[in-house]
Amino acid sequence: MSTNNQTHQAWLPDLVYLEGRFQPDRAVVCDSAGKIERIAKSEEVPDAIRLSGRALLPGMVNAHSHAFQRMIRGRTEHRSQHSTDSFWTWREQMYAAANSLEPDDIYAVSRLAFLEMALTGITAVGEFHYLHHSRDGSPYSDPNLLEREVIRAARDVGIRIALLRVAYARAGYQTEPNPQQVRFIEDSPDVYLKNLEQLLTVKDDMAWVGVAPHSVRAVPLDYLKTIVTFANEHALPVHMHVAEQPAEVSACIAEYGRSPVSLLETEGLLSKRFTGVHAIHVTPKAIAALARGGAFVCACPTTERNLGDGVVPVDAYFDAGVRVSLGTDSQIQIDLLEDARELEYHLRLQKMERNVLSPMLAQRLFDCATVSGAASIGFDGGRIAAGAPADFFTVDLNDPSIAGAAVDDLLTNIVFSLARTAVRDVVVGGRRIVEDGKHR
């Protein structure tokens, strides 16, 4: 249909997730700019694309990804030469993989990771990218060559990307340089910001840039303050690993006399644009500080349990009003609904009780995967409403994983039981990139 010289497209499933519940007889009408123009009744759009037997939900947002780590899936699940394996021994194997990749490899593995995301209903990703240089540590003639390869991979798959360019200055406090980190290091904020500014020209509805100081152990305080100030002046999202490991907290206290979150708050670095990734080993004071700053937390529970990191205290974050997003991080499994349900399940194991994150359990978890994730990466998405980006996915209501669900408990079935193979269509910016479970 055509109105006011603009081409419109309407999608008509059996059910649409609107304002916290599934509603029948609703069509999602998209405009030529890739936005949702309106929600209409079926009789108002007789030529709508019919999606029979399907429910339509807002696209999910993966707020923390290291796409290249998709290549080591299944290759670290064995005892190393160390007597005890941990995050730190896993990191050695990850570094070895990172140092084997040429630019075309970065593109290929990123495209594979983003394709898998698309097939599971993820329509946008925050890519926490820290591979900058060639394998010997020397800069490419284009210092953002690898960043551009990652962005190209996302564009080719058809999902949105916030390229969160990582600042990495050192191996750690009073730590000798690590030769396995030579591809990451930009040892001054001036170098980092010069390279970041060249990348800021990448800005449209499908790709944009954010600032990502790796962690307090990798970025000294003066460097950290300089680049976060730049990010705030340019309204860029800021993402940072925070309190993922007890050793990181201890090192921060040794260097600054404060924990990572306390340091961030007292130095004025927390804001509504700041996302602390993991934020596991925190005190009630730290949680309150994140809440006062309006900051997000990004939990990555599949990776966190795979690495033995610990359990994110999501109940305490929710109680304090801290918004929580989700990430697939190391790509050991790409299924954001699995990450959502793990937020609850990990707490059940820890507390030996059920429904810890109630009330409105399924909705709260789904919000982590959608609206909170979108806001975390600087994007007004994760919802089905007029004016929102036309990003959504459908699920097969007859899939065995959710068959028999009533409308009132459909979201609970989707959050806690949906199989990834039940995702049938994925639309980004009004354009269908997955049809009947297959990507083009």
Rounded Cα gap, residues 424 and 439, in angstroms: 10
Strand partners for 384: none
In the block, tokens 């707020």 appear at 63
Q: By the 8 A CB rule, do 418 and 393 touch?
A: no
Rounded Cα gap, residues 345 and 342, in angstroms: 5
For 360-425, the three-class secondary structure string (H helix, E strand, C coil) is CHHHHHHHHHCHHHHHHCCCCCCCCCCCCECCEEEEECCCCCCCCCCHHHHHHHHHHHCCHHHEEE
Q: By the 8 A CB rule, do 160 and 374 touch?
A: no
Strand partners for 223: none
- Name 307's Cβ contacts closer than 8 Å, sequence gap at least 6: 86, 87, 90, 330
Exactly one of 31, 329, 335, 425 is catalytic; which is it? 329
DSSP 48: P
What's the N-to-C CA distance of the chain in angstroms?
25
Exactly one of 64, 214, 241, 278 is catalytic; which is it? 278
Radius of gyration of the chain (CA): 21
CA distances from 434 to 118, 191, 414, 424, 437 (A): 7, 40, 19, 7, 6
Is there a catalytic annotation at residue 8? Answer: no
Is there a catalytic annotation at residue 278? Answer: yes
Number of H helices, E strands in the chain: 14, 19
In the block, tokens 């639309």 appear at 427
Per DSSP, helices labelled H in 37-102 are 87-98
Residue 173: Cβ within 10 Å count: 16
Closest CA to 29 of 21, 19, 20, 39: 39
For the annotated catalytic residues, the residue numbers are 278, 329
